[in-house]
């Protein structure tokens, strides 16, 4: 597609529920990233995919968070047993994965998650 | 651990003036910094990239400088306009592919 698409744009859920957030990257971009952004803060890295595999998942806060990218394109971020502290904007980005120092990210508009 | 520091206080300037934002980055070499703009309700948008061996990079009214001794990058917007009002994020690429972002500095340009 022309840009990075994220759905839903807004999600309100109750504490303890399961949530899925979807990201459709720019066509042909091999690298995909998930970030989380709280109010007044910069994006915080969660996980990075190179193709279908998670190349770096060191930013996932705990085992309630999981992400997949089964066909190397669309990715889903899954959050189990949501907590109020999970409330944030979840940003997805993709890149053509250039060499180090030239890796520019294109972000989606984000999915705003509110856990009541 | 990696930490990128930006002035968290909002910067208010008058239209036509030059805005200067500061980013202090970690002691990782080679250093690559990127600057992004973020508007409310939107994702960050890439502006400029500068590498450690580059002292300065320009794009239209934007200029980024790199001081490896101070571990600092300065981001300048000359002849600022109200439309430049946004949050500006500094990010460092340390070779792990995923960028580490600062908390951003909000710029408000008054007409």
* CB–CB contact B43 A50 (8 Å): no
Is the dihedral angle over the CA atoms B51, B52, B54, B59 positive or is it negative?
Answer: positive
A 55-74 near B (Cβ less than 8 A): 55-56, 59
Contacts of B29 in chain A (CB under 8 A): none
Enter the CATH code of domain B5-110. Answer: 2.60.40.10
What mean pLDDT is reported for chain A?
94
Q: Name the residue in chain A with its Cα closest to that of B6.
A: A42
Residue of A nearest to B93 (CA): A101
pLDDT one-digit tens code per residue, B15-31: 999 999 999 987 777 77
Average pLDDT over residues A2-31: 96
Distance, in angstroms, between B93 CA and closest chain A CA? 6
Residue A35 exposed, middle or buried by CB count within 10 Å (0-12, 13-18, 19+): buried
Contact A91 B95 (CB under 8 A): no
Domains recognised in chain A with CATH numbers: 5-97+107-115 (2.60.40.10)
**Helical spans, DSSP H, in chain B:** none
- Sign of the C-alpha dihedral computed for residues B82, B84, B89 and B92 taken in this order: negative
How far is Cα B34 from Cα B29, in angstroms, rounded to an integer? 15
Would you list the domain boundaries of chain B?
5-110
How far apart are alpha carbons B88 and B17 in whole angstroms?
17
Mean pLDDT value of segment A38-43:
94
């Amino acid at each position: 597609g022309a840009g990075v698409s994220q759905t839903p744009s807004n999600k309100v859920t109750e504490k303890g529920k399961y949530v899925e957030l979807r990201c459709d990257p720019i066509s042909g971009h091999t690298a995909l990233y998930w970030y989380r952004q709280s109010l007044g803060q910069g994006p915080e890295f969660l996980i990075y995919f190179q193709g279908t595999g998670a190349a770096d998942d060191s930013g996932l806060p705990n085992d309630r968070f999981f992400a997949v990218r089964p066909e190397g394109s669309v990715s889903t971020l899954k959050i189990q047993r949501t907590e109020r502290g999970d409330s944030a904007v979840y940003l997805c980005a993709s890149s053509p994965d250039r060499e180090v120092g030239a890796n520019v990210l294109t972000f989606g508009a984000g999915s705003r998650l509110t856990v009541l | 651990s990696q930490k990128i520091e930006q002035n968290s206080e909002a910067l208010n300037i008058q239209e036509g003036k030059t805005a200067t934002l500061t980013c202090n980055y970690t002691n990782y070499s080679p250093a690559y910094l990127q600057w992004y703009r973020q508007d409310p309700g939107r994702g960050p948008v890439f502006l400029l990239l500068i590498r450690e061996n580059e002292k300065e990079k320009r794009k239209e009214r934007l200029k980024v400088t790199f001081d490896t001794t101070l571990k600092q990058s300065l981001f300048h917007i000359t002849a600022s306009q109200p439309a430049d009002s946004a949050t500006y994020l500094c990010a460092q690429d340390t070779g792990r592919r995923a960028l580490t972002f600062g908390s951003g500095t909000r710029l408000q340009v008054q007409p």
